[in-house]
A and B are shown apart, each in its own frame.
Chain A
Amino acid sequence: MTAAATDRAKTDKTAAPAAAPARRPRDLGWLGVPVTAAAGLAAFWLFPEDLGLLTRILATALYVLSLDLVLGYCGIATLGQAAMFGTGAYAAGIAAVHWIGDPLALLAVGGLAGGLIALLTGALILHARGLTLLMLTIAVTQIVQEVANKARDWTGGSDGLSGIDPAPLLGLFRFDMFGRTSYLFALAVLLAGLLVARRIVRSPFGLACRGVKEDPLRISAIGGSPKAYLVAMYAVAGVFAGVAGALTAVTSGIVGLDSASFSWSAEALVMLVLGGTGRLYGAVLGTVSFMGVHHILAASDPFHWMLFIGLFLMGVVLFLPGGILSGIERLGGLFRAKGGKA
């Protein structure tokens, strides 16, 4: 992040020293929300047949965004984000089946559940690093999945939890069979999530987390507690992941065991890295491109998809470490440099 920023600053300086501050791509960050909203609405008109898929993409983007908060802003490499997503999805699903119908309340339930489980497990495991931390996050996910599998009376076990039938949104908009309400609801939640996440990462707390990522020793030297920051951000990301899980449960009406699986965690990581970590919008871009290509390729043969995504992933790691967004930025930098010369 810092390296990229300095790079950018350098290109700016060499290209057009006078106009540098106004041209910094950083200041364009606020554009992300309107652009996402416009693209989301355009997709609503362009693909009315595929609203189910698009809704799933939006909810997944929120989930990947939660991983970005942990990985991109705290540097915690985790393979256990699905634990929070699954907990949120199951909490919202169970609440919807037994007690409440209001979709917004269900999202709150999911967020609360995700945040709680993240806070508990985060306090327990975040002292570790490297392989140990990866294993611990995997173990947490497996335990959540196993509990969901065994508590058949509540969760439906391997059959999945079904019968989630939320009440109309705000008492006005019914969840219709074409998924229009679902889609617009998911889009609104994602946009709200992006705004809140942007506010969080730009707050002093977010900056402190980034400090922990860059140099934990210095943070403790100036009086902060790195672990406390990490646990707090882990819990915040847990809330996001829980809301994403609840959103999936509300809009799709079912919750399956795979929502708390190892591979769902790994897929989130893949999507985030494709888009670019530490940028928030990278999560959205990565999710859209991953799931879009998946939809097209996996329709013919799931193994074509695995070959493609595997090669693509290796290519990104080896040649484009910052993900798609950094590639775009680098291209932008090239053009700007050329423009400066000409």
Chain B
Amino acid sequence: MFGIAVDGVAYGMILFIISVGLSVTLGLMRVVNLAHGAFAMVGGYVASYAAQTLGLPYAAALVVAVALTVLATLPLETLLYRRIYGHANELSQVLLTIGLTFVIVACVNYLFGPTLKRIPLPDALLGTVSLGPKAIPTHRAFVIGMGAVTLLGLWWLLERTDFGIRLRAAVDDPAMAAALGIRTERLYMATFALGTGLAALGGVLGAELLPLEPYYAIRYIVLFLAVVAVGGAGSIFGSAAAALALGVTDTAGKYLIPNFGEFFFYAALILILFRWPHGFFKGRTA
């Protein structure tokens, strides 16, 4: 039982780290980014290459993966995404980002091959940590810790810094924010970088739970979207609550009622969205 809870929370934290990036970009730019899973996958592949082929230590591979993914996707923001911001373009957003996902999947397959990739864990993350009478795997504890750090860091960034104030202003009313001298274009770029950085981080950390293969980008995007839809676009704590609930129920469902887990998950999703179309946890924060 305890093991299920730990696995569930760790899984939920991974979902949170990836989905909150999607949630932030969706909340600010109103773009349904189906390529978000592809960005997470790119991060994972870069880390795997850095760790396995170049022999970098885990921490360095993590940093390199996040930095490279952000650098690689920033031009996409200027070239592609900027044309499809806004509410009216859902269909173009869906299609453009599906197209982008296909291209990334094909490129990743060309560069890295179709086999499953692993990111070797350092010895420090291989053992177990004892918590009173129980022991949990260090990697799970590390993931949960990183999730908590991300949650607090984002909260601090959005609620307590100048950047956060501008961001929230731009979410509430982009035209007014621009009129007040906030450079919304730069803000969009920074937010997009933040979103892809979080995706890459989640992709690396979660490589043990969401295995890296070229169809990763398509396989898991529905999960990430579900988290955002239930959590409410742009709400950090909503995403966290939704991701944790989803992670725990999904894991518990797999262990306890293996036959109908997914069925209940989607039925619950329909009921929640039927009652709260803007997300269960639609908060006031960006």
Residues of A within 8 A of B (CB): 71, 77, 79, 124-125, 127-132, 134-136, 138-140, 142-143, 146-147, 150, 262-263, 266, 269-270, 273, 303-304, 306-307, 309-314, 316-318, 321
B78 within 8 A of A: no
Tell me which residues across on chain A come within 8 A of B218, comparing CB atoms: 263
Q: Report whether B270 and A128 are in contact in the complex, using a CB–CB cutoff of 8 Å.
A: no
Tell me which residues across on chain B come within 8 A of A143, comparing CB atoms: 263, 266-267, 270
Q: Report whether A313 and B226 are in contact in the complex, using a CB–CB cutoff of 8 Å.
A: no
Q: Mark B121-146, 1 if CB is under 8 A from A, else 0.
A: 00000000000000000000000000
**Given the contacts A135-B269, A318-B80, A127 and B277 also touching, CB distance less than 8 Å:** yes
Q: Report whether A307 and B103 are in contact in the complex, using a CB–CB cutoff of 8 Å.
A: yes
Q: Report whether A303 and B229 are in contact in the complex, using a CB–CB cutoff of 8 Å.
A: no
The 8 Å CB contact of B262, one of A129, A146, A307, is: A146
- In whole angstroms, how far apart are the Cα atoms of A29 and B109 in the complex? 43
Q: Report whether B87 and A130 are in contact in the complex, using a CB–CB cutoff of 8 Å.
A: yes
Q: Report whether B270 and A134 are in contact in the complex, using a CB–CB cutoff of 8 Å.
A: no
Interface residues of B in 215-235 (CB under 8 A from A): 218, 222, 225-226, 228-229, 233
Residue of B nearest to A75 (CB): B91
Tell me which residues across on chain A come within 8 A of B277, comparing CB atoms: 127-129, 132
Tell me which residues across on chain A come within 8 A of B2, comparing CB atoms: none
Q: Mark B47-79, 1 if CB is under 8 A from A, else 0.
A: 000000000000000000000000000000000
- In whole angstroms, how far apart are the Cα atoms of A318 and B89 in the complex? 12
Residue of A nearest to B270 (CB): A139
Q: Report whether B269 and A310 are in contact in the complex, using a CB–CB cutoff of 8 Å.
A: no
Q: How many residues of B contact A (CB 8 A)?
A: 45
Inter-chain residue pair count (beta carbon < 8 A): 125
Residue of B nearest to A150 (CB): B259
Q: Report whether B222 and A262 are in contact in the complex, using a CB–CB cutoff of 8 Å.
A: yes
Q: Report whether A306 and B266 are in contact in the complex, using a CB–CB cutoff of 8 Å.
A: no
Q: Report whether B90 and A313 are in contact in the complex, using a CB–CB cutoff of 8 Å.
A: no
Q: Report whether B233 and A303 are in contact in the complex, using a CB–CB cutoff of 8 Å.
A: no
Residue of A nearest to B228 (CB): A131
Interface residues of B in 259-286 (CB under 8 A from A): 259-260, 262-263, 266-267, 269-270, 273-274, 277-278
Q: Report whether A131 and B233 are in contact in the complex, using a CB–CB cutoff of 8 Å.
A: yes
Interface residues of B in 171-210 (CB under 8 A from A): none
**Given the contacts A128-B273, A130-B87, A136-B273, A146 and B263 also touching, CB distance less than 8 Å:** yes
Residues of B within 8 A of A (CB): 26, 32, 80, 83-84, 87, 90-92, 94-96, 98-107, 109-110, 114, 214, 218, 222, 225-226, 228-229, 233, 259-260, 262-263, 266-267, 269-270, 273-274, 277-278
A-B pairs with beta carbons under 8 Å apart, 30 shown: A128-B273, A130-B90, A134-B32, A135-B225, A136-B270, A136-B273, A138-B225, A142-B222, A143-B263, A143-B267, A146-B260, A147-B263, A150-B263, A262-B222, A263-B218, A266-B98, A269-B95, A303-B106, A306-B102, A306-B103, A306-B106, A307-B103, A307-B106, A307-B107, A310-B98, A310-B101, A313-B96, A313-B98, A314-B96, A318-B83
Q: Report whether A132 and B95 are in contact in the complex, using a CB–CB cutoff of 8 Å.
A: no
**Given the contacts A125-B274, A306-B102, A313-B96, A142 and B262 also touching, CB distance less than 8 Å:** yes
- In whole angstroms, how far apart are the Cα atoms of A147 and B267 in the complex? 11
The 8 Å CB contact of B99, one of A125, A131, A146, A313, is: A313
- In whole angstroms, how far apart are the Cα atoms of A134 and B83 in the complex? 21
**Given the contacts A124-B274, A150-B260, A310-B102, A134 and B94 also touching, CB distance less than 8 Å:** yes
For the residues of B in contact with A, the DSSP-based class is helix
- In whole angstroms, how far apart are the Cα atoms of A124 and B270 in the complex? 9
Q: Report whether A311 and B103 are in contact in the complex, using a CB–CB cutoff of 8 Å.
A: yes
Tell me which residues across on chain B come within 8 A of A138, comparing CB atoms: 222, 225
Tell me which residues across on chain A come within 8 A of B263, comparing CB atoms: 143, 146-147, 150
The 8 Å CB contact of A131, one of B26, B104, B274, is: B26
Nearest first, the 7 closest Cβ-Cβ pairs linking A and B are A310-B102, A313-B99, A307-B106, A310-B103, A135-B229, A314-B99, A306-B106
- In whole angstroms, how far apart are the Cα atoms of A318 and B92 in the complex? 8
Tell me which residues across on chain A come within 8 A of B233, comparing CB atoms: 131
Interface centre among A262, A312, A318 (most CB of B within 10 A): A318
Tell me which residues across on chain B come within 8 A of A134, comparing CB atoms: 32, 90, 94, 225
Q: Report whether B80 and A314 are in contact in the complex, using a CB–CB cutoff of 8 Å.
A: yes
Shortest Cβ distance from B249 into chain A, in angstroms? 15
